[in-house]
Amino acid sequence: MKLFYYPMACSLADHIALQEAGIEFQIERVDLSTKITATGQNFKDITAKGYVPALELDDGEVLTENIAILDWVASRFPQLGVSGNLGRSRLLEALTYISTEVHGSFRGIFHAGSDQEKTQARIEIQKRFEFMAQDFKSDYLFGDAATVADFYLFVMLLWAERFKIGTPQVLVAFRERVRDREAVKVAMEAEGIH
């Protein structure tokens, strides 16, 4: 199994989840500007989408998109999912919010042309974090145990830290708690993130 990634991209969430699950896998960096992997492959031959993450499974199938990969990990390693009748639905609900609302709002930071657009994006990101913080009552999103959704949120909080976007204190504490997990340290070191 191989995870195609770019350092500090959203693929870090998948890298952490795979580490937490204890799955045996390899990683391969992708140059997002040239679409060439570290071993010289054309990344577009792996996924026509041309962006990370992409997880090549042992049977050669390629899975893309954070929600799909993180759901795949949680379905095989239930300790990284959410239990109960609506557990999987609640997990997908959280992953979707993080992906569409939080991650999507960063597009304005990464790709906006004007200072006004970047300012508006920062405001939107802060609102999304404030919304998430209001019901945050445990160490992690769903209680005392980390799920794949926590790893995705963690990456979004790293981005907020990088761009100096105001974040509620409860989420700052969460970010530092997740950063201290052994699997997170291993993944970040492997990607050269300090």
* pLDDT (tens digit per residue) in 35-80: 999 999 999 999 999 999 999 999 999 999 999 999 999 999 999 9
Residue 112 pLDDT more than 90? no
* pLDDT the model gives residue 110: 87
User: Which has the minimum average pLDDT: 100-104, 112-116, 129-133?
Assistant: 112-116
Judge whether 32 and 114 are in contact, CB under 8 Å.
no
Backbone angles phi, psi at 171, to 5 degrees: -80, -30
pLDDT-derived band of residue 113, with 50, 70 and 90 as boundaries?
Answer: confident
Mean pLDDT of 121-125: 95
pLDDT in tens, 133-192: 998 889 999 999 999 999 999 999 999 999 999 999 999 999 999 999 999 999 999 999
Closest by CA to 57, choosing from 29, 81, 76, 35, is: 76
Span 76-96, pLDDT tens digits: 999 999 999 999 999 999 999
Can you give the pLDDT at residue 194? 82
Torsion of CA 142, 94, 9, 39, to 10 degrees: 90
Give the separation between CA 152 and CA 108, rounded to whole angstroms. 19
Please give the sequence-ordered ranges of beta strands (E in DSSP) within 9-167, or none if there are none.
26-31, 36-37, 54-56, 62-64
Higher pLDDT, 48 or 117: 48
